[in-house]
Chain A
Amino acid sequence: MTRPQEVDPAQIRARYPDVFDRPASSRLATPAMIVAAFAILVYGLVDLDFSPSRFFAGLSQLGWISLMMIPPDPGSSLSVYLKALGETLSIALLGTTLAALFALPVSLLAARNVVPSTIVRFAIRRFLDSIRGIDTLIWALVWINVVGLGPFAGVLAIAVSDFGAFGKLFSEAIEGADQKQVEGIRASGGSALHEIRFGLLPQVLPVIAGQVLYFIESNTRSATIIGIVGAGGIGLQLAEQIRVLEWQKVSFLILMILVAVAAIDFISGKLRFAIIGRRAVA
């Protein structure tokens, strides 16, 4: 056993200049970033009319509201709410399925290994990006203008906004697929369609199925809110009850949403595991 060597601080400093003598710019970078972030925050608070008095007044108001929410009580409209919840789940399921059906062919066009043309791919990708850049609620407003108020507008809104998301995700899944199987089919004389059907689809379908299930799950959440602009489902009831200040009904509706979302999460988690897990083993 040897004693640890006596160290000379000066020597250490000389040996690791990066640690002990960092240039001013790198030493100041982090504090400068924090100060800048804080400055924007303060500017934002001022610009957005934050004031402590308003904040605390609102907080006490919020306290009252929470007190009035207890106990959650549907009143006499339980059946209406259950129907609205069913409507919401229907919107999510139909919207996602429609989106997936339409997105699959388009995603093939957006995948590098299927369509080598950069121009086509670029155009389709930007098109999908633009669709995704617009929120589901905005699509819902647009569709309400077209097919009128009601859940159908919600289905179409979810279908369109998911179409953008699916197109991107599917094309990424397709690009990630193994090319060897496609080459094998080409080598045995298959046409381009055969390559897609027997080389690509068997690889990507489980991935896609998993993503679709995940989206049905997350669309249950989206479908709860598109009712706020009038596109059907439980959001419509929720927005109405909030506007007429029926807080017990509001809290009941929120609880219903939470339970429904948890249930869908559970089911789709199981299904996803069943679909992807089995393939991963086989």
Chain B
Amino acid sequence: MTIAVSILPEQQLAVLNAAYRRAVARKRLRLLLGVAIFAAALVLAAIGAEVNLRTLFTYFGNFISYFDRILTLDNGQRVWTDFGEWLWGWRKWLKMLGETLLISYVGTLVGATFAFALNFFAAENTSPAPWLRFVVRRLLEFARTVPGIVFALVFVIAFGLGPMAGVLAIAIHSTGALGKLFSEIVENADMKPVEGIRSTGASWLSCMRFAVVPQVTAGYASYALLRFEINVREASVMGFVGAGGIGQELVVAIRKFYYSDVSAILLTIIVTVFIIDITTGWLRGRLFGKEART
């Protein structure tokens, strides 16, 4: 087997080589320029954020020893030598964790309901009027861009301290996030069933109910479960601003330096998040599995 590699004459090769080098040099220059701009932005940011490397180096030991301290009981033993002592408050913490889960559950469900009601107006292909779509989209955008905890801060003042503010904050944020995702599913739905149903003289509502909803429910459920997962994390910090859940206990433990309590509460949060992640992952797998089979 022979491979034909044509040997170019010297001059022709030189031209090509030069062109190649120029191209590479241009690419390198552009990369260098990008890196330089990025580095400049970093330096600016470091000044803006009062980054002090000396503080970091002096105190970095504290960061490591912080974990050493939160893993040590009051009597100087490691926490895992005495689970009873470490998790002494498990009854209270489990109750607060339950409250956290309830906050995220109710928040997700209410948010998903509102998102369900609104998303048909926001989707390009099903919205009855352009101005309505514009209004609903801006509303959803607002609900999704303002962080949940900012809503919680305001709601704590309006509705009083307690989990109610947390639920409403999570519900609003979820409405915004899910509304967008839901409307994207609707935009990807097949429009032929809608035409079929409209041709029988059905109203807009019937079109949505019988042509769009059957196509999109699995996707909706999947996104709602994913949102629930995110909301569990979010609800775990709602207590920081007084909006209920385990965050309240955690912030007290951190601020008052109850070291072993911090690690115990963190452990319960991490385990809960793991369990929720795995459960919802399994549920979503089943939902999508079912979808793929039909």
Contact yes or no, B254 A142, CB < 8 A? yes
Distance in Å: Cβ of A87 to nearest Cβ of chain B = 5
Q: Which of A48, A57, A152, A225 contacts B49 (CB 8 A)?
A: A152
State how many residues of chain B have any CB contact under 8 Å with chain A: 58
CB<8 Å pairs between A and B, sample of 21: A40-B102, A54-B164, A91-B45, A91-B49, A129-B274, A134-B269, A135-B233, A137-B149, A138-B250, A141-B254, A145-B254, A151-B50, A152-B51, A152-B52, A156-B56, A221-B145, A225-B147, A225-B150, A228-B150, A228-B153, A228-B241
CB pair A152–B56 under 8 Å, yes or no, is yes
Chain A contacts to B: CB under 8 angstroms: 37, 40-41, 43-45, 47-50, 54-55, 57-59, 61-62, 65, 86-87, 89-91, 93-94, 97, 129-130, 133-135, 137-138, 141-143, 145-148, 150-152, 154-156, 221-222, 224-225, 228-229, 232, 235, 238-239, 242, 245, 250, 254, 257-258, 261-262
**Most chain B CB within a 10 A radius of its CB, from A44, A58, A134, A154:** A44
Encoded as 1 (CB less than 8 Å from any A CB) or 0, chain B from 105 to 122 comes to: 110010000000000000
Q: Closest CB-CB distance, B156 to chain A, in whole Å?
A: 9
Interface residues as binary, B202-230 with A (CB distance below 8 Å gives 1, 0 otherwise)? 00000000000000000000000000000
Query: A155 touching B147 by the CB < 8 A rule?
Result: no
Report the stretch among B11-19, B59-67, B72-80, B189-197 that lies at the interface: B59-67
A275 to chain B, nearest CB (A): 9
Task: Pick the residue among B45, B46, B244, B257 that contacts A48 (CB under 8 A).
Answer: B244
Bound-complex Cα distance A47 to B150 (A): 24
B contact patch SS: helix
Confirm or deny: B266 has a beta carbon within 8 angstroms of a beta carbon on chain A. yes
Q: Is B5 an interface residue (CB 8 A)?
A: no
The minimal Cβ–Cβ distance linking A10 to chain B, given in whole angstroms, is 26
B184 interface residue per 8 A CB criterion: no
In the complex formed, the residue of B with least CB distance to A95 is B49
Choose one: B146, B234, B237, B244; the contact of A257 (CB below 8 Å): B146
B147 near A224: Cβ-Cβ < 8 Å? yes
Name B residues whose Cβ lies closer than 8 Å to a Cβ of A: 41-42, 44-52, 55-56, 59-60, 62-63, 66, 99, 102-103, 105-106, 109, 142, 145-147, 149-150, 153-155, 157-160, 162-164, 167, 233-234, 236-237, 240-241, 244, 250-251, 254-255, 257, 266, 269-270, 273-274
Given A44-B105, A58-B155, A134 and B270 contact (CB-CB distance below 8 Å): yes
Residue of B nearest to A253 (CB): B150
Complex alpha-carbon distance, A129 and B274, angstroms: 8
Known: A41-B106, A134-B266, A228-B240. A141 touches B251 (CB 8 A): yes
- Measured CB to CB, the closest approach of chain A to B108, in angstroms, equals 10
* A93 and B41 contacting across the interface, CB-CB below 8 Å: yes
